Structure 1
Amino acid sequence: MARAPAESLGEPLNLPGERDTDPHLSPDGAVLFFASTRSRVVDIHEAHRIAP
C-alpha cells in the first residue's frame, strides 16, 4: 500500500521551530508516543485517538 507524503497539520499541532521525532504507536493503535522539544527540552508526549 502506497503512503501519502506527510503534511503539516498547522498550529497548535505543528509549531514553528519545534521538533517532533521518534513516533511509535501502541499495539492497539490508539496512542501515539513521540519525542518533542515543545517544552524547550526533549520530552516524551502522547496523543490519544478518540473512538468514533
Structure 2
Amino acid sequence: MDDHKRKTIRRHLALLTLALLAILVILAIVFPVEQETPSRPTTQNEAQP
C-alpha cells in the first residue's frame, strides 16, 4: 500500500509541476516581462506629442 501511495503522489507532483510550467509559459506569452524594457513606455509617451 505504501509503495502504491508513493507512486501516485510522485505522479501527482509531476502533473502539478507540468501544470505550473505550462501556466508560467502561458503567462510569459500573454504578459511579456516589463522589467526587461522599462524605457519603452517613456519613449512611446515622448513620441506621441
Same fold (TM over 0.5): no
State the TM-score, normalizing by the size of structure 2: 0.19
Tell me the TM-score normalised to structure 1 length.
0.19
Higher helix share: 2
Q: Highest relative contact order (Cα 8 Å, sep 6+), 1 or 2?
A: 1
